[in-house]
Amino acid sequence: MKESIRQRLQKIADRYEEVGRILASDEVPGGSQQFRDLSVEYARLQPLAERFGRYHGLERDLGAARELQQDADPGMRALGSEEAARVEAAISSEEVELRKLLLPKDPRDDKNIFLEVRAGTGGDEAALFAGDLHRMYARYAETKGLSAEVLSESPGEHGGYKEIISRIAGRGSFSRLKFESGTHRVQRVPATEAQGRIHTSACTVAILPELDEVEEVQINPAELRIDTYRSSGAGGQHVNKTDSAVRITHLPSGIVVECQDERSQHKNRSRAMALLKARLLAAEQEKQQSAQAQSRRVQVGSGDRSERIRTYNFPQGRVTDHRINLTLYRLPQIMDGDLDELIDALQQEYQAELLAEEA
């Protein structure tokens, strides 16, 4: 292990012990803001400190094994060599995990997100696939204890959606889905295809983190055009009698957002403003990232929707993620929301790239 990394870990371990002592003493009144802040810090430091403790234990085990390798008895020396090899492998693995824990955390990871799915090339088939993708993400969110609500939708002529925008809320929403932005391609035989030919269609997915108040994007009200209209969604007689749906146009950028899910015009306006701010921030970040010419294969919130990131081949029952050259023959399960294997692989690849940069 590099000495610089060891020193960083030792500082964290020392601080962990110090905070533990303070919390166990009467120095800070329980229930105070300082006590709560220290408790949060203690919980944040604990995984690293405890893992570093295990690493120290392995180093001691390695020292003992190497002493055995010097024993006069050939049998003991063989035992020492075997044990040293096992512990060295464990130390190497533990060092990788410690370095992962030291990687900077993305401050957006725990944020709620706006999920935007739009039909691309492929006409009706693209709209149907947009519906399939939205259902896939909604099912996945459900399995993770996240909530998903549709903010606006534009149905396709024969099913699915030309565009559908949802808000997914819950701890870790952005962390789990941030690698999904990009172009998703589908290869399958449409139900209307009499010849049985495979068609290729595409949809774009955008994942936008919802902003906190402290990250408020400054918007001049004079630069907004706000229109209200009657919702076209479900809702019985109500939708035919009140103009509760809201459309906001940001005149300088031309960005248009809509929300028609809530019965209250006030709630729809609030949701639409939140979405507008998220899009404006994403556009600004895309500009900055473009200027920096980032070349990472795994795009994180880059908004680079022109890049084909994944192909769903129905005749072969396979899904291929082109960024990490991963192919899984589990298409039915994936379309039903079982995305863990894909998402975990993308996160591991991203961590590996960060580790390589720090090496």
Domain holding 225: CATH number?
3.30.160.20
Backbone φ and ψ for 148, nearest 5 degrees, come out as -130, 130
Asked whether residue 162 falls in the same domain as residue 146, the answer is yes
Asked whether residue 183 falls in the same domain as residue 324, the answer is yes
The helix/strand/coil state of 139 is helix
Residue at 129: amino acid letter: F
For the cut 80, the answer to whether the pLDDT of residue 233 exceeds it is no
**Pair of tokens at residue 148:** 């998903």
Q: Rounded to two decimals, what is the model's pTM?
A: 0.65
Assess contact for 144 and 176: CB atoms under 8 A: yes
Pairwise pLDDT comparison (79 vs 289), residue with the higher score? 79
pLDDT-based confidence at 300, cuts 50/70/90?
very low
Region 277-298: mean pLDDT is 62
Residue at 170: amino acid letter: G
Asked whether residue 98 falls in the same domain as residue 133, the answer is no
Asked whether residue 210 falls in the same domain as residue 307, the answer is yes
Please report whether residue 296 resides in a domain. no
How far is it, in rounded angstroms, from Cα 344 to Cα 349?
9
Q: Give residue 28's domain range.
A: 3-102
pLDDT for the residue numbered 277: 87
How far is it, in rounded angstroms, from Cα 260 to Cα 245?
4
**Per-residue model confidence as pLDDT tens digits over 312-336:** 999 999 999 998 999 999 999 999 9
Evaluate the CA torsion angle 121, 149, 106, 288 in order and state its sign. Answer: positive
Backbone φ and ψ for 202, nearest 5 degrees, come out as -145, 155
pLDDT for the residue numbered 337: 95
Asked whether residue 98 falls in the same domain as residue 24, the answer is yes
Region 156-173: mean pLDDT is 92
Radius of gyration of the chain (CA): 26
- Concatenated DSSP letters of 89-137: HHHHHHHHHHHHHHSPPPTTTTS-EEEEEEE-TTHHHHHHHHHHHHHHH
How far is it, in rounded angstroms, from Cα 221 to Cα 198?
49
Asked whether residue 58 falls in the same domain as residue 166, the answer is no
pLDDT for the residue numbered 115: 94
For the cut 50, the answer to whether the pLDDT of residue 304 exceeds it is no
Region 243-271: mean pLDDT is 86
pLDDT for the residue numbered 215: 53
Asked whether residue 194 falls in the same domain as residue 254, the answer is no
Among 102, 126, 159, give the residue marking a domain's end.
102
Asked whether residue 152 falls in the same domain as residue 51, the answer is no
CATH number for the domain including 204?
Answer: 3.30.70.1660
Percent of the chain topping pLDDT 70: 88
Asked whether residue 19 falls in the same domain as residue 64, the answer is yes
**What is residue 159's DSSP assignment?**
B
Assess contact for 298 and 324: CB atoms under 8 A: yes
Asked whether residue 64 falls in the same domain as residue 125, the answer is no
Among 126-130, 270-274, 299-303, which range has the highest average pLDDT? Answer: 126-130
pLDDT for the residue numbered 298: 42
**Number of structural domains, the chain?**
3
pLDDT-based confidence at 239, cuts 50/70/90?
very low
Asked whether residue 204 falls in the same domain as residue 264, the answer is no
* Of 182, 149, 162, 177, nearest in space to 261 by CA: 149
Mean of the per-residue pLDDT values of the chain: 85
Asked whether residue 133 falls in the same domain as residue 152, the answer is yes
Q: Which H or E run includes 48? A: helix 33-68
Pairwise pLDDT comparison (30 vs 81), residue with the higher score? 81
